[in-house]
Amino acid sequence: MPLYHLLNQAQLIELAAKQGWLEGVSALSRRFEDIPPIDYFSSGRRGTLPEARLETLSRMRMRIPTAIIHGQNFSLIIEDKIFPGGFAHSFGTSAAWKPTAGGQFYYRPKGMRRVEAKSPCLLGMTSHWGHFFVDALDRLFQLEELKRLDAPLLIGDPDFLDLRPQVDDRHSVPQVSELMRLLGVRLDPGNVIPILKQFDYEASDITVCTLESIKPAISSGSFRKLRQRLLGEVGQVPDDSREFIFVGRSDIKKRFILNQQALMGYLERVHKAETVFPEHLTVEQAIRTFSSASRIIIPIGSAIFNLAFCRPGTKVVCITPRDYAAQNAGVALMTRHLCHALGLKLAYYEVEIREKHPLINSDMIISEADIGNIVDVFENMA
């Protein structure tokens, strides 16, 4: 059975440079962005998360003559090497690979299909709101610069995360399709090609744009560009919009907010706050809602990427499972970077969870004490 070396995005760039596959970029540069300290609160304690340093790289573009795309994690198999492909941010090993003691993997590609489309481009995951922002947004803007958005676009399996999402005829959740249309992407259904997770695919002349951010960083420039483009596209916020919103969780498969109804009732009755459920909004409605708000309470999860529509100076209290924000990693650090990049003011409020593991996927419990304390956090924000 063939033996493969599992390598990273930087090593893919090195191979591309050696083989002459790079387009228009001659050197790889590393940059660091310092994220300032922020506070986190809970019923009974307050702490401060220290300054964090996040790394970014130059964005690279390459044309790979031939590769196998492994559907289970959208990786690229080139000769005896496996690289992150369309899921560079969410990349993980495949259950189909058999690890060896030396850190390599045995695997025989099977169920092989052929990508017949001419000169396809890797885009990323479009069937999940959050993963679109971290795995596809930066590539979308790079493909726009290359004037290749009308090329065949390779995307991840529509049910990659086993969440049974409601996708359209472009294999994308409707909000992602709408967002891309607002950005000027021509989305002919036949031009969007899903890489199904149960197959491997042979493809030729593949355009691959690397992500400039290294997880948990986000691509700051792409998020700022997104806000500028979309706010200009949608126009001015209506005068009657509300300035305090709570982002609820409704049509979801996990991470439920227990006692959410009581929190919603308190916020509406005492603070005239409006509850919104992003999964029920169009992108244009989400842009108007989030750009009009000056205070936002939001549970951690994919909905945080709606913060990309907020105006600078907006105050955000993000609800997380207890001890999650204090770990200062994963989605919590990504949220810090997002808010810092867009000029938003952020603090965390931690609540108890129903399950004890895994922390980020547990149901969060809003206690009676939490209901008032969450709003008080705004007063402690600079």
Average pLDDT, the chain: 90
The pLDDT of residue 238 is above 60: no
Band of pLDDT at residue 131, cut at 50, 70 and 90: very high
pLDDT at 241: 55
Instruction: Check residue 235 and give its pLDDT.
Output: 65
pLDDT in the model for residue 178: 94
Give the tokens for residue 247: 């982002």
pLDDT at position 330 is 86
Percent of the chain clearing pLDDT 90 (strictly above): 68
Tell me the pLDDT band of 103, cut-offs 50, 70 and 90. confident
| pLDDT single digits (tens) 198-208 | 999 999 999 99
Give the tens place of pLDDT for each residue, 10-24. Answer: 899 999 999 999 987
The answer to whether the Cα torsion of 55, 47, 278, 331 is positive or negative is positive
Tell whether pTM > 0.85.
yes
Q: 3-class DSSP state for residue 133?
A: helix
Q: What is the pLDDT of residue 196?
A: 96
> Pick from 96, 81, 77, 377: which is nearest to 244 by CA?
377
Residue 121 has pLDDT above 80, yes or no: yes
Whose tokens are 């949608």? That residue is: 234
Average pLDDT (83-95) is 91
Q: What is the mean pLDDT of residues 364-373?
A: 90
Return the CATH number of 222-380, one of 2.20.25, 3.40.50, 2.60.40, 3.90.550: 3.40.50
Cα distances from 8 to residues 12, 86, 203, in angstroms, run 6, 13, 20
User: Do residues 196 and 112 lie in contact, with contact meaning Cβ atoms separated by under 8 Å?
Assistant: no
- Over the stretch 321-341, which tens digit does the pLDDT of each residue have? 988 888 888 899 999 999 999
Domain ranges within the chain, ordered by starting residue = 3-25+60-215, 222-380
Determine the Cα–Cα distance for residues 154 and 115; give it in Å rounded to an integer: 9
Higher pLDDT, 190 or 2: 2
pLDDT bucket at 153, cuts 50 / 70 / 90: very high
pLDDT for 274-320, tens place per residue? 999 998 999 999 999 999 999 999 999 889 999 999 999 999 999 99
| End-to-end CA gap in the chain | 60
